[in-house]
A and B are shown apart, each in its own frame.
Chain A
Amino acid sequence: MESPGLRDRHGPRRRSRRGLSVLKRLRSRLAALARRRRFEEDLAEEVSFHMEEHARELVRSGMSAHEAARRARLEFGGVDNVKDDCREARGLRLFDEIGQDLRHALRVLRRTPGFTATGLATLALCLGANLAIFALVDSVLLRPLPFPAPDRLVRVFNSYPKAGVADDGCSVTNYYERRGEIAGFTGLAAYRHGAAIVGEAGTTDRVEVTRVTAEFFSTLGAGPVRGRAFTEEEMTHQTDGVAVLTHGYWREQLGGDPNVVGRTLKVDGLERRVVGVLPPEFRFLSSRSRIYLPWASNVEDREPRRRHWGSSSQMIARLRPSASLAQAQSQLDAHNAAREADAAEARMMAEVGFRTLVVPLHADHVAALRSTLLLVQGGALLLLLIGAVNLVNLFLIRASSRAKELAVRQAIGASRWRLARAVLVETLLLTSGGALLGLAVGAGGTRLLAVLGADRLPLGSQIAFDARAGLVAVCGAIVLGIAIGAPIAWQSLRTAALHALHSESRSSTASRAAQRTRHGFLVAQVAVAFVLLSGAGLLGQSLRQAMAVSPGFRPESVMSGHLFLPWKSYPQAAARLAFMERVLEALRRRPGVLTAGMVTNVPLSGDTNKSAARVKGHTLRREESPHGIYSYSVAGDAFETLGVSLIEGRFLAADDSRRPERVCVVDEDFARYYWPGRSALGQRLFQGGQVRSDAEAFTVVGVVAAVKQAGLTDDARQGAVYYPYRHWSGNSLFLVARTSQPPDRLGKTLQDVVRQVDPELPLSDLRSMETRVADSLLARRSPAVLAGLFSAVAVQLTAVGIYGVLSYAVAQRRREIGLRMALGARPQQVRAQFVWLALRLLAAGIALGLGGAWLTGRAMQVVLFEVPPLHLPTLAGTAVTIMLVSLFACLLPAHRAAQVSPMETLATD
């Protein structure tokens, strides 16, 4: 009697209403769920009230009380069914059923502790690894910089690509010329990182500082919360006696003094007045600076002729909301063209390909890291994939043993959806538990990452393992739970359906299909493990290649430390030289010190600034551009101490800084470039880009081996010139000493000697040269270590997978084995049968893995150093490792198979 008319009247309206108030209904469901006990009491009371009222009425019409109550119950119908329908009407039945499923799943998981523990451990490790790496990727690549509209912040830098100088920051002149001239920028600022000595004599500290222009903070959109930022008037050397403190410095060094603004601080021997304090959350890129100072300059520093005098400074800008990066770029190009048109060095600038580039600040800051980080995250995801496949297989094996239970449940009326849901609830329960443990593993993992040097990466000191990681864990648990549950539910339903048809289906096609699925998953797992392991192998190989590169000096037994001589105490080169000679003299008398020297930059220090030098008699060929070269100055026995080998002529000696003759030493790259096939000795060159009078020329007195300045894997043969300190005197210096002791023991000696000569001078960045070499390989070693860890887990998981699948195969075929043994098969034959099965699966997995490894190897080329995508020894090693571990894993099940007694098996069934 269902008329279509009636249905039509309800259909569309119900749907639209449902769409409108889904949220409201969900809220009412949750409220009902929360007040569950109250709901049940109310429902019971309402029903009994109904029956009482009905009975009362029946009594009124003359029925006995007992009979009336019976009639009332009868007419009401099945109370439990009615209540159930009411609950369903309130949407509570789903919750009830899921509750049942949960309790059932908990019971099942508790009944199989080995299985549950394996699953939880797998998930904890795989998810934990992913969460830790995600926290790193998130902090470095994903999280926006902590400024308003951070995507509008850009970096602006000068580039001289043909001179081998890709990035030279900006000059003082650049800043004053560009300010207010680029329409696409609302703010433009320059800054320079450095260090300063803060405090009174005897209690001085070397503190990292950043010198910034007046509108630095306003360009970022974040500045002092106490006091004020710098003003335009404070940007000269006469007026820059002010400082802005970070929150950390204010709290730790000045005890959080509320009246700090106006207090004075001795910085590099000069009194500076504190004018502002930054908020605790202020963080500029990876800067560790604790004090901000004005970026002061003199009027002559701002002259156009100094436009290309790199000042180790950087420029940032904020894009106007309406302007694009490309517009700003073309405005800068036009600006440069107008400036360079009449400049003396216009031709040279054209030759070196000079251009000023605008790039997004955040992306640029982490550009070098991006591919490595994504690679490591990719590795972690592969590990997760292996773990998930492993779990699917373990679940499948267990599901086959529970097929009968499912068939029974289906037979007594459980719907397919209900059965599938039970499986999903179970996998979700397991993955949720795994995710919880994974969070703990991940938190520990971030600490491991810090040990591996993550805090030295750009933005790496700000790794936050917080709610975002938690959210990813929750999503991961849900996705994994469904991904693992889906194939299991599918397989279970299929098996259950077939079980319902056959009473006994030991050899049915269903179990054969299930076996194929299990074997397929195992093959996939082996393949992915192969890819991961071979990737780790490639990274390791690449690290080995890099470590095998000669740094050009002998780093063992050399200690080094960084010194910064303040202009105030050491205004003249002579004073600085005198200081150095006293330090070196005192150092040489200390026990354990073999030789000692000073040099303006040590190899692998991270400072790769280059300068120009002009060779007398060398005219630029067509297409040849002036070269940026490493320029050092040395005092004492710097070459002997560092262990740079002499190729020709002599080293610079202490005397060279006292004598008027201008001499220098060049490295082999420089000599080969300018005087190929000839001796460099006696040749002459000039500092800077111009040829000057002969009186200013430096005569080459020696040629030394090329030193890897930028990094062991840096192949640019840039060339280097070493001058006596007197002729190229900077105030940033490295003290180096070669020792007969373990070098780290010398650190305190170096510090003592410097303090003895000048109590105000702290020595910083104390590291042995061997440590510097090791640290320079951080970006190669840490990913290799991580990949190694991942693949170790992956191989373990594969072993567990093989063990599980084979054990099950043996258990399933016990009767067949027993029969064969009874017919005279020998244990070795049975054992061989299972080993052979494992070998076949392994071979398929490895064949697939080879293809994957080739693809990954190609994708990894960017981060590999002199390793081809198909590195045969790595692949062979990977195959052997996986083979050995897997065969080991299948020994026990195979042995168990061989142990089957024919009598026992025939008797049990």
Chain B
Amino acid sequence: MGKTADILPGTLDMLILKAVSLQPLHGYGILLRIQQISGGALHIPQGSLYPALYRLDDQRLIGAQWGQSENNRRAKYYTLTAAGRRRLKQETAGWNRLASAIATALAAAPDEA
């Protein structure tokens, strides 16, 4: 693994939504998927994943069903709900705006300040 970054507060939810938007995943799968899609750059403390999942479930942004894992073990799979899909879209747009604004600000030359 190369250099990893701690995730920004509030962004874990967004990443979880993104991960389950691709396919239904169990908790451990979500963790792996986020590492995978971020190119291994994001480090998520394992313990903080589950409270986030339960919170999102409580907010009806994701749904959960029990299913069979690839090893034939009972596992809880999370899927994105319609509300979750809307939220993901909003958050992504908002994040992009913020990121480009910050990037612009940080790229400013000394005489523009």
Contact = CB atoms under 8 A, between A and B. Distances in A.
A6 B10 contact: yes
Interface string A66-106: 00000000011110011001101111000000000000000
A46 B50 contact: yes
Contacts of A13: 90
Contact of A49 (B9, B58, B73, B91): B73
Interface in A41-55: 42, 45-47, 49-50, 52-54
Contact of B50 (A7, A86, A91): A86
A5 interface: yes
B7 to A, nearest CB: 10
Contacts of A42: 66, 76
B47 A81 contact: yes
B58 A47 contact: no
A85 B52 CA distance: 9
Contact of B28 (A5, A7, A54, A77): A54
Contacts of A54: 28, 46
Interface in B48-83: 48, 50-55, 57-60, 66, 69, 71, 73-76
A34 interface: no
Nearest to B56: A89
A28 interface: yes
A659 interface: no
Contacts of B26: 46, 49-50, 53
B27 A77 contact: no
Contact of B94 (A9, A77, A81): A9
B37 interface: no
B76 to A, nearest CB: 5
Contact of B27 (A3, A50, A81, A91): A50
A46 B76 CA distance: 7
B8 interface: yes
B47 A86 contact: no
A54 B49 CA distance: 14
Nearest to B9: A2
Contacts of B102: 5
Interface residues of B, number: 34
Interface in A17-51: 17, 21, 24-25, 28, 42, 45-47, 49-50
**Most chain A CB neighbours (cut-off 10 Å) among B50, B60, B69, B94:** B50
Nearest to A86: B54
A75 B46 contact: yes
Contacts of B52: 89
Given A49-B73, A50-B28, A82 B50 contact: yes
A823 interface: no
A10 interface: yes
B45 interface: yes
B10 A89 contact: no
A52 B74 CA distance: 12
Contacts of A49: 26-28, 69, 73-76
**Most chain B CB neighbours (cut-off 10 Å) among A7, A45, A46:** A46
Contacts of B69: 49, 53
A90 B58 contact: yes
Contacts of A467: none
A695 interface: no
Contact of B46 (A10, A24, A45, A77): A77
A90 B52 CA distance: 10
B47 A77 contact: yes
Contacts of B90: 13
A620 interface: no
Contact of A53 (B28, B51, B91): B28
A25 B58 contact: yes
Contacts of B73: 49, 52
Contacts of A56: 71
A3 B53 CA distance: 23
B28 A82 contact: no
Contact of A28 (B27, B53, B58): B58
Contacts of B10: 6-7, 9-10
Interface in B1-47: 8-11, 26-28, 45-47
A56 B73 CA distance: 13
A5 B90 CA distance: 15
Contacts of A46: 26-27, 50, 75-76
A17 B61 CA distance: 12
Contact of B55 (A17, A50, A89): A89
A441 B94 CA distance: 63
A662 B19 CA distance: 112
A736 to B, nearest CB: 81
Nearest to B61: A17
Contacts of A82: 47, 50-51
A10 B76 CA distance: 28
B86 to A, nearest CB: 11
Given A24-B60, A46-B27, A85 B45 contact: no
Interface in B73-113: 73-76, 90-91, 94, 98, 101-102
B51 A86 contact: yes
Contacts of A5: 98, 101-102
A1 interface: yes
B9 A6 contact: yes
Given A77-B45, A91-B58, A1 B50 contact: no
A397 to B, nearest CB: 43
A76 B52 CA distance: 14
Given A9-B94, A50-B28, A82-B47, A89 B54 contact: yes
A686 B73 CA distance: 110
Contacts of B46: 50, 54, 75-77
B37 to A, nearest CB: 18
B28 A1 contact: no
A304 B71 CA distance: 102
A5 to B, nearest CB: 5
A254 B48 CA distance: 77
Given A86-B54, A90-B54, A45 B47 contact: no
B30 to A, nearest CB: 10
B75 A85 contact: no
A9 B102 CA distance: 14
Given A17-B59, A42-B76, A89-B58, A47 B9 contact: no
A3 B105 CA distance: 14
A716 B52 CA distance: 82
Nearest to B10: A6
A10 B59 CA distance: 14
A24 B76 CA distance: 23
A273 B79 CA distance: 75
Contacts of B9: 1-2, 6
B58 A45 contact: no
Contacts of B101: 5
A56 B53 CA distance: 22
A21 B58 CA distance: 11
**Most chain A CB neighbours (cut-off 10 Å) among B10, B69, B91:** B10
B53 to A, nearest CB: 8
A1 B58 contact: no
Nearest to B26: A49
Contacts of A50: 26-28, 46, 50
A78 B46 CA distance: 10
A86 B64 CA distance: 14
A708 B46 CA distance: 92
Contacts of B47: 76-78, 81-82, 85
Contacts of B48: 85
Contacts of B66: 42
A47 B8 CA distance: 24
A75 B52 CA distance: 17
8 contacts: A5-B101, A45-B76, A46-B26, A46-B27, A47-B50, A54-B28, A85-B54, A90-B54
Given A2-B9, A53-B26, A86-B51, 6 more contacts: A6-B98, A25-B58, A49-B73, A50-B26, A50-B27, A90-B58
Query: What 6 A-B pairs come out closest when comparing CB atoms?
Result: A77-B47, A85-B51, A89-B54, A89-B55, A53-B28, A86-B54
